Amino acid sequence: MSEEWKQEIEKRRTFAIISHPDAGKTTLTEKLLLYGGAIHLAGSIKSRKTQRHAVSDWMEIEKQRGISVTSSVLQFDYGGCRINILDTPGHQDFSEDTYRTLMAVDSAVMVLDAAKGVEAQTKKLFRVCSERHIPIFTFVNKLDRFGKAPIDLMDELESVLGIRSYPMNWPVGSDGRYRGVYHRQTRQVELFEADESHGQKERASALYALDDAALKERLEPDVWQSLQDDITLLDEAGESFDEERIACGALTPMFFGSAMTNFGVRNFLEEYLRLAPPPAPRESSDGRIEPADDRFSAFVFKIQANMNPAHRDRLAFIRIVSGRFERNMSVWHSQSDKTVKLSQPQQFLAQDRQIIDTAYPGDIVGLFDSGIFGIGDTLTDVGRKIRFADFPVFPPEKFARVQAKDTMKRKQFTKGVEQLTQEGAIQLFQQPGAGSESYIVGTVGTLQFEVLQYRLQSEYNTEVLLNMQPFEVARWLAFEDGREVTPAALRGADRGMFVHDRDGRPVLLVNNEWALGWITENNPGLLLYPVPPDKDKV
Ligand code: G4P
């Protein structure tokens, strides 16, 4: 591997921004693009509610609900780094898509609303990141408004999430009187100047040494005094800066700022790039694969169809783990055990796509997919058959019977349902003997049903009837002695609970854990699995 190639890897930073809805993830993403020079005026992705509708999002539903339901990938260069930001949907519902996206990153930025602290969705997303032991950076947002005291937020991180924090900066002035930040590494205070652009342009600032008389002059006496007190307290009683603990996700560097008013954004970006890791190795069936391994390998973490309504296309997003990606290269594909040619690879800036020729570990590439790719598939150099470690599996918890309203539209209906299943948005089940006009659909959250209804309508011109089922648990079945599992062979379960998955495996749908216990008791020798026993992914 050439020196140049190694440098390409070292300069990459691939991360996701996670937050509870409304904490400011979109605003911060946009401001990172602004400071990174990728856009010149903030407000072009999504800003004021009124403007949101003018922006053509990938999916109409995003506009309607004002939420982002697909993950986008943004790439830009800053300070010698190549940055890949994977956007994660921020809606309330548990989403597999988000979790899979987090499999493709090397670090995460957790955005907190200063007034709200750690919220429900923050907790879930944090857990996924901390299970992977990736570094997590905290950006406390909306400092321009009244919020919780910084010390209380640090306590909250520890008591709710179990992570210690190291403030990289400290707010100067609080409760709506936010003036700037104190940078702990350089021991300088940055005061922000007035802004006429409503946050659309970069914000001017001035730097002062902590003991500079001019600083004291510019600050109200109580603000100046409490800054001095806070710094003493932090230095004496706070955590020490420990890069090793940051690298394994045991300590989170914490930044205070305001994405909307551009307070602390540039410093956050620069410090983040300094501390965040370059592409990490991944575990495979052939041991650990290092990014510097010059043989190509990648995995599919997301599939998205019909991103552009004008072209009925389907993209498989891959994360490159090792080697170098080249347009038109032929690779081995794990799922089909065949060689496939990767033509027309795409990279993204918001809604703009461009064809790329080369990409390196850490990069995300969108591949046109004729339907062969599945989530978790591995792509490698031809002749080298490895597979990356399993993706997390999410057992479905919500179920509905789904059928086309108009039976004449059965064909489109089946096609649409199959498509969404391949994307991993839903899981399909069928009762024995039922035709392709009716399915039982399983999901991990109720929002997916809305997405299903909406997408079948808009992309396949098919109205569907949804009938929610009372089930909450799915179990794949087998008998210890290898006997065939049929409805008749099961005691204590009625026929309506018995279904097959897409591959014909028997599955039992039950209302709750208590009912599950009843079935187990009544059927000695019956094995029940929360995910298909013979498959490493759903
Ligand atoms: P999300 O992606 O995490 O869901 O949050 P998003 O960036 O869309 O921000 C949610 C709301 O919080 C937006 O207000 C946004 O303007 C506001 N916001 C983001 N950062 C800051 C900040 O630093 N300070 C303050 N005061 N507000 C911030 P909105 O009312 O939903 O929309 P808009 O009309 O303001 O765009």
Domain boundaries, the chain: 17-69+90-275, 282-381, 398-537
- What pLDDT does 352 receive? 57
Q: How far is CA 436 from CA 48, 227, 416, 429, 439, in A?
A: 44, 67, 12, 11, 7
- What pLDDT does 89 receive? 64
Identical fold for domains 282-381 and 398-537, yes or no, is: no
What CATH code is assigned to 17-69+90-275?
3.40.50.300
Ligand 1 binding pocket mutation candidate from 260, 265, 268 (most atoms within 8 A of CB): 260
The residue contributing the CA closest to ligand 1 atom 33 is: 48
**Distance between Cα 141 and ligand 1 center (Å):** 10
Ligand 1 binding pocket mutation candidate from 17, 20, 25, 27 (most atoms within 8 A of CB): 27
Q: What is the mean pLDDT of residues 479-486?
A: 93
**pLDDT tens across 19-33, in order?**
988 898 888 988 888
Tell me the CATH number of domain 282-381, given options 3.40.50.11400, 2.40.30.10, 1.10.1040.10, 3.10.20.340.
2.40.30.10
On the CB side of 199, CA atoms within 13 Å amount to 21
Would you state the CATH architecture of domain 398-537? 2-Layer Sandwich (3.30)
- What pLDDT does 60 receive? 46
Residue 281 phi, psi (nearest 5): -70, 165
Q: Is 88 in the pocket of ligand 1 (CB under 6 A)?
A: no
CA distance 451 to 183: 44
**pLDDT tens across 23-73, in order?**
988 889 888 888 887 666 555 444 434 333 322 233 444 444 443 434 467
The residue contributing the CA closest to ligand 1 atom 19 is: 24
DSSP letter string, 208-268: EETT-HHHHHHS-HHHHHHHHHHHHHHHHHSPPP-HHHHHTTSEEEEEE-BTTTTBTHHHH
Report the nearest atom of ligand 1 relative to the CA of 67. 4
Q: How far is CA 78 from CA 12, 36, 346, 478, in A?
A: 10, 5, 21, 54
Q: What is the mean pLDDT of residues 495-499?
A: 89
Q: Closest Cα partner for 386 from 292, 283, 306, 457?
A: 283
**Distance between Cα 143 and ligand 1 center (Å):** 12
Identity of the residue numbered 211: D
CA distance 90 to 112: 13
Q: What is the mean pLDDT of residues 523-531?
A: 92
The residue contributing the CA closest to ligand 1 atom 26 is: 142
**pLDDT tens across 238-258, in order?**
899 999 999 999 999 999 999
Q: Sign of the CA dihedral 234, 237, 242, 247?
A: negative
Confidence of residue 502 (pLDDT cuts 50, 70, 90): confident
Q: State CA 278 to chain mean position distance.
A: 18
- What pLDDT does 73 receive? 75
Q: What is the mean pLDDT of residues 451-464?
A: 87
The answer, yes or no, to whether residue 448 has pLDDT greater than 70, is yes
CA distance 306 to 109: 29
- Would you state the structure tokens that stand for residue 234, as one six-digit string? 């932090």
**pLDDT tens across 256-297, in order?**
999 998 889 999 999 999 999 999 999 999 999 999 999 999
Report the nearest atom of ligand 1 relative to the CA of 257. 23
Residue located via tokens 């100067």: 172
Helix (H, G, I), strand (E, B) or coil at 524: coil
The residue contributing the CA closest to ligand 1 atom 11 is: 22
CB 252 within 8 A of CB 136: yes
237 Ramachandran zone, left/alpha/beta (phi>0; psi -120 to 50)? alpha
Q: Closest Cα partner for 345 from 324, 384, 104, 102?
A: 324
**Distance between Cα 288 and ligand 1 center (Å):** 41
Q: Is 47 in the pocket of ligand 1 (CB under 6 A)?
A: yes
**pLDDT tens across 359-401, in order?**
999 999 888 887 788 888 999 999 888 999 777 767 788 999 9
Q: Is 145 in the pocket of ligand 1 (CB under 6 A)?
A: yes
- Would you state the structure tokens that stand for residue 501, as one six-digit string? 């998955």
3-state SS of 120-167? HHHHHHHHHHHHCCCCEEEEEECCCCCCCCHHHHHHHHHHHHCCEEEE
The answer, yes or no, to whether residue 451 has pLDDT greater than 50, is yes
- What pLDDT does 186 receive? 93
- What pLDDT does 55 receive? 29
CB 427 within 8 A of CB 395: no
- What pLDDT does 463 receive? 94
CB 209 within 8 A of CB 219: no
Report the nearest atom of ligand 1 relative to the CA of 19. 3
**Distance between Cα 260 and ligand 1 center (Å):** 7
DSSP letter string, 262-320: TBTHHHHHHHHHHHS--PPPEEETTEEE-TT-SS-EEEEEEEEE-SBTTB--EEEEEEE
Q: Closest Cα partner for 59 from 344, 516, 423, 526?
A: 423
CB atoms within 10 A of CB 237: 8
Tell me the range of 271-275, 340-344, 454-458 where mean pLDDT is highest. 271-275
**Distance between Cα 188 and ligand 1 center (Å):** 28
Average pLDDT, the chain: 85
Q: Is 50 in the pocket of ligand 1 (CB under 6 A)?
A: no
Q: CB-based contacts of 408: which residues, under 8 Å, 6+ apart?
A: none
CA distance 86 to 72: 6
Helix (H, G, I), strand (E, B) or coil at 55: coil
- What pLDDT does 496 receive? 83
Q: Is 90 in the pocket of ligand 1 (CB under 6 A)?
A: yes
CA distance 114 to 391: 33
Q: Is 85 in the pocket of ligand 1 (CB under 6 A)?
A: no
CA distance 424 to 43: 32
Q: Is 262 in the pocket of ligand 1 (CB under 6 A)?
A: no
Q: Closest Cα partner for 451 from 443, 45, 403, 313?
A: 443
Q: How far is CA 66 from CA 26, 59, 352, in A?
A: 11, 11, 20
CA distance 39 to 29: 11
- What pLDDT does 147 receive? 92
**Distance between Cα 225 and ligand 1 center (Å):** 31
Q: Sign of the CA dihedral 23, 27, 33, 37?
A: negative
Confidence of residue 195 (pLDDT cuts 50, 70, 90): confident
Q: Considering only 224-233, 416-425, 473-482, 506-515, which range has the smallest mean pLDDT?
A: 416-425
**Distance between Cα 27 and ligand 1 center (Å):** 6
Confidence of residue 175 (pLDDT cuts 50, 70, 90): confident
Report the nearest atom of ligand 1 relative to the CA of 20. 3
Q: Is 68 in the pocket of ligand 1 (CB under 6 A)?
A: no
- What pLDDT does 64 receive? 45
Confidence of residue 357 (pLDDT cuts 50, 70, 90): confident
Q: Is 23 in the pocket of ligand 1 (CB under 6 A)?
A: yes
The answer, yes or no, to whether residue 312 has pLDDT greater than 90, is no
Q: Closest Cα partner for 122 from 150, 96, 149, 157?
A: 157
Report the nearest atom of ligand 1 relative to the CA of 258. 23
CB 368 within 8 A of CB 429: no
Q: What is the mean pLDDT of residues 136-151?
A: 94
**Distance between Cα 343 and ligand 1 center (Å):** 39
- Would you state the structure tokens that stand for residue 95, as one six-digit string? 């989403």
**Distance between Cα 157 and ligand 1 center (Å):** 22
Rounded percentage of the chain residues whose pLDDT exceeds 70: 87
Q: How far is CA 315 from CA 330, 366, 379, in A?
A: 17, 6, 15
Q: Is 25 in the pocket of ligand 1 (CB under 6 A)?
A: yes
**Distance between Cα 184 and ligand 1 center (Å):** 27
Report the nearest atom of ligand 1 relative to the CA of 261. 23
Strand partners, 508: 475, 498
The residue contributing the CA closest to ligand 1 atom 36 is: 48
Q: What is the mean pLDDT of residues 399-421?
A: 90
DSSP, res 27: H
- What pLDDT does 54 receive? 28
DSSP letter string, 390-440: PPP-----EEEEEEESSGGGHHHHHHHHHHHHHHTS-EEEE-TT--TTEEE
